[in-house]
Each structure stands twice: as C-alpha cells, then as structure tokens.
Amino acid sequence: MESGDSCHAEGVSESLSVKVPRAFRRFDRALVAGVAAGLAAHSRYTVWAVRVAFVLASFWKFSGAVAYAVLWLVLPRQEKQVPIGLVAAERQGLRTVMPKTRWPQVAGWVGSCLIGVGIAFVIRLYDTSAIGQNAVGISLVGIGVGLVWLTRETGWPRWGKAVMSVLGVLMVWAVGTFVQADIWSTVGIDMDEQMERLLFSFFIAGTSMVVCLALILPWIVHPARSEEDKQAELIAQTRADMAAHLHDSVLQTLAVIQKRSTDPKAVSQLARSQEKELREWLYGEHVDDESATSALKDVIAELEATHQVAVELVTVGDHEMTVEIDAVVRAAREAILNAAKHSGADKIDVYAEISTQRAEAYIRDRGCGFEMDDVDQDRLGIRRSIIDRMARYGGKVDVRSTVGEGTEIHLSMPLDEEGTGHG
C-alpha cells in the first residue's frame, strides 16, 4: 500500500518538474524594483525577510546594495500576462481600466532612501576608512543612480519619469561638486599635498565616469525599444493569433453545426462547448495546465460532450496538481457521471474551493435523488470510486440526497503542505 502510494507520488512529481523555475523581478509587490519580491516568490521566503537580508548585508561594504543593483540589471521583469481578449477589448475601448495607485510604493521608496542615508551616517560615525567617511556621498550617488534606473520601469506617467531622472542626475552631480569643492577648499599649501589632492581629484573624476556608465548601463544591458515598436508588434501578433484561433475553433465548429443542423440537441451541445472554449481562450480562465481547476474543467468538458448535460462549474482558489487533488478530481468525475446518468436533472452545479490546506468539491443536481441504503452493493460507482477513493487519501465524502429533490455530494480532502512542497 505504502510503496504503491510513493510510487504514484514520484510519477506526479516527475511530470511536474519539467518546468524550470526562473526568477523574475515582480513589480506588483515591489518597493524599489521588485528584486526582493521576485526572490521571495522564487525561494518561498517572505518578502520582508529578503528585504531585511538585503539591508543587513549592506552594513558590510554595501554588498547588499550592490547585489541588489546587479540583480536589478540581470533579472528580467515579470510581464503581466493579459489575456488576448482583454487586450483586444481594451484597445477597442470596450472596458475601463482603473489605474492602480502607486502611492504605497512611492512611500516605500522614500522610506528605503531615508533608511539608506541614515545607515550611511551611522557608518560614517564608526568607520574611519575612506569608504566609511564617504558613505553618505556613496549612498546618495546610489539613490541617484537608482532614480534614473527606475525611469526605465513602465507604469509611470511621463512627467514622473522626467522628474525622477532630473532628480537622480542632480543628486549625482551635487555629490560630485561637493567632493570637488571639498578637495580645493583650502589653497596655498605645499607641493606634496597639492599633488595628493590632484591625484584624489583624478580618482573622483574616474569614479564619476563609472557612475555615469552606471546611469546608462540598463539601456546597454536591456536595450530599450521604443514604445511604438512594441505596440505595433503586439498588435500584429494579436491579429495573427486571433485569426489563427478563430479559424481553428469557431470556424470549424460553425461548419459542423451547419452539417448537423437537423439535430437540435447536437447543435446546442456544439455551440455550448465552443462557447466555453472561446471564452476560456479570450478571458484566460485556463490558468495552468497542471492545476486542480484546469483538471476539473477538462473532466467536465469531456462529460458534457459525452452525456448531453450542462455542468456549471464555479471555482474559488487553485492549487497545483497533487495525488490528493487528483483523487478529488476523479471522485468528482464519478459523482458528476452518476448525476448525469441517474438523476434525470438537465443541469449539474459543481463548486470547488481549493486552498493550500484543503480541497473541497460540491456536486449538486436537482434530480430524482436516492436513498443511500437502497443503492445496490453491486453498483460500484458511489462506494468504490467515490467514498473508498477519497478515504484512501485521507478525505471524506458526505452524501445528502432527498428523493424527489436532488442530491449533493460533498468531497473534502485535507492537503498536506509538506507533501506538496516538492512540486
């Protein structure tokens, strides 16, 4: 029994590990540039733990800040996947998009900058080396460079970008000027000291060149294309995709419908499944091929096609496939099949709620109903395929049926977080 189960589990984890996880910068939860948020999502630590780690690491020669800057450059941005139907609707002005307020983020940035400068002041107090003494200047230059880099991120109004770049450049320039003025503040000292100052001045000039390079580095690393180019390409792609899809799906179905126009049941079935499929494609309901929701949808699509019954599915939450969820989906399939065959109802409601702790499904019909005791022992459907299957994985089944009113089957399965972590 045990070995059989673990065997099954391995099979599932193998099929799931095909996708290589990549780290992205996540702008949706970003305070600065989404590096910490992205790493948190990637490593499954909490965002704040990662942020604190970066800040703490910065106490040692700014390594945290430098690492952050490098990751900012290297990690690609996670682009938000907008379903093609929504893109099309938006472009035709069929929907209103309310811009998301960015004020919490701005507050986050200001806060981070203040903390950075504060830390620099503390370092200046205790660290007497050249870097320590110039910590404030270095952190200001860092913030300036950061501001200019930020203008590359989309989702900002144009004036915001302009203000940020001007502010960033001014900051870097002010620090440079201040340092230069500091070097030449006293005149008329001996040659050696003048020589030393001249050398330091060269050093400053070199450093500022590095900073200037840093300012334009993102544009070199990820060459920015003009917005219009992107837009045009997107439109072209969208059109091509749209045409291809319509041809493959809707046109084909329409052709079949014309052929079978004498069979109203078949026509409505075809229309219904095509409507579902098109809606899924347009509005991106089909989120993940390996998720509980998509498995349920596939099962329902299959049963609807073979049993001429309408199944209304509502889902809340989702989870990647596990052996437990697989059991729930199979049990649900059996329950829907039973309802379709025996209840006589023309519509079946399926509601699934999936959280990280629990998967639940309710299968309900308003058909003839039955008495549990009257079910023949030889009818294996409900006992073996539903109740026993669920019990094997630690789940339970609750059947409520009233003769003449209908049946509701409630499947409930606890999900073990440890067991699903390997996916």
Partner 1 sequence: MAEESRYRVVIVDDHAMLRTGVRHEISSAVDVVGEGEDVATGVAAIQQLHPDVVLLDVHLPGGGGVEVMKQAGLSEVKYLALSVSDAAEDVISTIRAGARGYVTKSISGTELVDAICRVAEGDAVFSPRLAGFVLDAFSGSIEVTSVDEDLDRLSSREQEVMRLIARGYSYREVARELFISVKTVETHVSSVLRKLQLSNRHQLTRWAADRKLV
Q: Which stretches of the chain bind partner 1, using CB under 8 A?
A: 28, 83, 85-86, 89, 92-101, 275, 279, 282-285, 312, 314-318, 349, 351, 353, 362, 364, 408
Give the shortest CB-315-to-partner 1 separation in angstroms: 6
State whether the Cα torsion 120-125-130-132 is positive or negative: negative
What tokens were used for 69?
């800057």
d(CA 204, CA 145): 16
Q: Cβ closer to partner 1: 230 or 279?
A: 279
Instruction: Return the closest-CA partner of residue 129 out of 70, 62, 205.
Output: 62
Give the shortest CB-46-to-partner 1 separation in angstroms: 15
Give the shortest CB-81-to-partner 1 separation in angstroms: 12
Q: Cβ closer to partner 1: 132 or 284?
A: 284
* Residue given tokens 């579902």 in the structure block: 276
Give the shortest CB-282-to-partner 1 separation in angstroms: 8
SS3 label, residue 341: helix
Q: Cβ closer to partner 1: 5 or 275?
A: 275
* Residue given tokens 């910068």 in the structure block: 25
Phi, psi (degrees; rounded to nearest 5) at 412: -140, 130
Q: Cβ closer to partner 1: 22 or 91?
A: 91
By CB atoms closer than 10 A (0-12, 13-18, 19+), residue 120 is buried
Q: Cβ closer to partner 1: 100 or 225?
A: 100
- For the range 88-93, what are the long-range contacts, defined as Cβ-Cβ under 8 Å and sequence gap of 24 or more? 88/238, 88/242, 88/282, 91/235
Phi, psi (degrees; rounded to nearest 5) at 189: -120, 180
What tokens were used for 249?
């799906």
For residue 353, list its beta bridge partners. Answer: 316, 360
Q: Half-sphere exposure of residue 148, counting CA atoms within 13 Å on the CB side? A: 21
Give the shortest CB-294-to-partner 1 separation in angstroms: 15
Query: Residue 26: which residues within 8 A CB-CB, separation 6 or more?
Result: 34, 37, 38, 41, 78
Give the shortest CB-197-to-partner 1 separation in angstroms: 54
Give the shortest CB-86-to-partner 1 separation in angstroms: 6
Q: Cβ closer to partner 1: 324 or 365?
A: 365
Tell me the CA distances in angstroms from 113 to 35, 64, 104, 142, one per residue in order. Answer: 16, 14, 14, 9
Q: Yes or no: say if 76 and 25 are a contact pair by the CB < 8 Å rule.
A: yes
Tell me the CA distances in angstroms from 259 to 245, 246, 262, one per residue in order. Answer: 21, 19, 8
Give the shortest CB-93-to-partner 1 separation in angstroms: 6
Give the shortest CB-337-to-partner 1 separation in angstroms: 18
